[in-house]
């Protein structure tokens, strides 16, 4: 991981938006909404009159992605929000206000709704006008100020400037309002407290495949950013399998839970997973990401093909049961047999024909192998035939009675 994370919100640009970019924010939800763009509108940061301790140069051209301010307590900054309407024939009534950020899922940042309590940026930013009308094809400038209260603790705070279209669609359950959000980062100088941790790196199965989880806790008074790289190596992998999670953002006092899914894993084997998390801080004075630390965690795990093992065990059980019943059947057949002493000139086939038996059954019952040779005087076990065959009794060939006496045939 060589490149530092980027701050994904885009600032200091004019966005030419069409009606295709319209997104809707249902205000009846809990407030975890992302930036939403109104149709045929653009918003950008306007000319900056004052930028305290951020850029000593009078050049007001901001080259950093977000709006970034560094302001001491009791000090203020004034700026202008420019709203342009690129629609040729549609006027828009716009409501402008500021909101705080909240921790979104998967390492992203969301923005509070206007109805939610405002604790920092939502309170510090004040617009000269709360509503403006932007005529078709016109540009409107809305001045605003940022004032930091006297007892504000040092730290880095993130929020957003919101341009919300006043014309909305309503029904009985949901109020739908499109809005465009311009992210803002405010750094309050002072003593930094950097406390963070990488906790509970673990693995569990999800949909039959390994899924890795970790918790990145930020107990600092500044925003923290991260890039995670998970490498897996082991028995059936010719080279390490890698998964990355980039551009993670964690607000102060928040904990990020992140999951990485190991898709198409090997069938079996022992493996080692190594997680590397690069922790960055955004320096408001330079506009650069500063690498603070690289946290590493490892765990070993095994992939056991339980479905295959269970199927194999079931097959073994079926074979054992089948062998048990086969032997039981043979014992039953043996208990219903009589003996036949082989006379001169008799063969296995002729004896089987005499008693109307299958010669293969006779051979199997007496464990005879190819070429199935029998000699005069040998004794064969024969099962009782299902039907009696008319035979003539002789002294030399009289079967020994077991359960019942079959017909005898003279040879």
Same domain, yes or no: 155 and 30: yes
Burial 312-344 (b: 16+ CB within 10 A, else e): eeeeeeeeeeeeeeeeeeeeeeeeebbebebbe
What is the count of structural domains for the chain?
A: 3
How open is the CA angle 258-263-266, to the nearest 5 degrees?
A: 130
Domain assignment of residue 329, yes or no: no
Same domain, yes or no: 350 and 204: no
Domain assignment of residue 318, yes or no: no
- Residue 68, strand partner residues: 185
Q: Which residues does 410 contact at the CB level (< 8 Å), separation at least 6?
A: 391, 392, 393, 394, 397
Q: Which of 167, 188, 209 is the last residue of a domain?
A: 188
Same domain, yes or no: 61 and 135: yes
Helix (H) or strand (E) holding 322: helix 306-334
Question: Which 8-state DSSP code applies to residue 343?
Answer: P
Domain assignment of residue 316, yes or no: no
Cα–Cα distance measured from residue 125 to residue 78, given in angstroms and rounded to the nearest whole number:
9
Among residues 216, 291, 277, 269, which one has the least CA distance to residue 243?
277
Same domain, yes or no: 172 and 203: no
Q: Which of 285, 304, 323 is the last residue of a domain?
A: 304
Specify the pLDDT at position 213. 92
Q: In terms of residue numbers, what domain contains 45?
A: 19-188
Specify the pLDDT at position 171. 53
Cα–Cα distance measured from residue 225 to residue 156, given in angstroms and rounded to the nearest whole number:
12
Tokens for 347?
Answer: 């063969």
Helix (H) or strand (E) holding 348: helix 348-354
Strand order in the sheet with 254-261: 196-206, 209-218, 254-261
Q: Which of 145, 165, 188 is the last residue of a domain?
A: 188
Mean pLDDT by 10 residues, the chain (411 residues): 49 28 26 31 38 31 63 91 83 90 82 87 93 88 92 90 71 65 89 92 85 94 93 90 91 91 86 95 83 95 81 92 86 76 92 90 88 91 66 41 40 38
Same domain, yes or no: 178 and 33: yes
Specify the pLDDT at position 389. 47
What is the DSSP track for 257-317? EEEEE--S--SSEEEEEEEEEEEEEEETTTTEEEEEEEEEEEEEEEE--HHHHHHHHHHHH
3-state DSSP call for residue 324? helix
Same domain, yes or no: 234 and 269: yes
Same domain, yes or no: 165 and 27: yes
Specify the pLDDT at position 36. 29
Specify the pLDDT at position 233. 93
Predicted model pTM: 0.59
Cα–Cα distance measured from residue 217 to residue 107, given in angstroms and rounded to the nearest whole number:
11
């Amino acid at each position: 991981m060589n490149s530092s994370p980027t701050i994904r919100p885009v600032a200091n640009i004019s966005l030419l938006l069409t009606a295709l970019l319209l997104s809707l924010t249902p205000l009846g939800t809990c407030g975890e909404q992302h930036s939403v763009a109104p149709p045929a509108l653009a918003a950008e940061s306007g000319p900056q009159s004052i930028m305290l301790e951020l850029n000593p140069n009078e050049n007001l051209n901001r080259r950093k992605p977000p709006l970034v301010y560094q302001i001491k307590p009791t000090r203020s900054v004034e700026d202008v929000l420019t709203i342009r309407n690129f629609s040729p024939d549609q006027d828009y009534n716009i409501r402008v206000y500021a909101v705080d950020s909240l921790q979104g899922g998967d390492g992203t940042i969301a923005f509070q709704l206007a109805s939610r309590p405002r604790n920092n940026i939502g309170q510090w930013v004040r617009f000269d006008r709360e509503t403006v009308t932007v005529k078709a094809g016109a540009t409107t400038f809305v001045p605003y100020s940022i004032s930091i209260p006297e007892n504000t603790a040092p730290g880095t705070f993130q929020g957003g400037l919101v341009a919300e279209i006043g014309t909305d669609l309503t029904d009985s359950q949901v109020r739908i309002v499109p809005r465009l959000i311009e992210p803002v980062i405010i750094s309050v100088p002072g003593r930094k407290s950097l406390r963070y941790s990488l906790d509970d790196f673990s693995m569990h199965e999800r949909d039959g495949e390994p899924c890795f989880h970790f918790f990145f806790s930020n107990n600092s008074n500044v925003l923290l950013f991260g890039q995670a790289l998970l490498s897996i190596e082991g028995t059936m992998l010719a080279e390490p399998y890698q998964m990355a999670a980039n551009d993670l953002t964690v607000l102060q006092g928040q904990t990020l839970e992140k999951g990485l899914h190991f898709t198409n894993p090997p069938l079996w084997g022992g493996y080692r997973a190594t997680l590397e998390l690069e922790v960055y801080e955004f320096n408001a004075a330079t506009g650069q990401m500063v690498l603070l630390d690289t946290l590493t965690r490892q765990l070993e795990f095994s992939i056991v093909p339980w479905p295959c093992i269970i199927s194999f065990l079931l097959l073994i059980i079926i074979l054992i049961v089948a062998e048990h019943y086969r032997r039981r059947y043979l014992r039953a057949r043996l208990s219903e047999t009589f003996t036949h002493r082989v006379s001169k000139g008799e063969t296995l086939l002729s004896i089987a024909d005499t008693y109307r038996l299958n010669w293969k059954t006779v051979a199997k019952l007496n464990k005879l192998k190819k070429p199935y040779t029998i000699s005069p005087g040998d004794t064969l076990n024969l099962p009782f035939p299902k039907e009696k065959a008319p035979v003539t009794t002789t002294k030399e060939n009289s079967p020994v009675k077991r359960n019942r006496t079959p017909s005898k045939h003279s040879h």
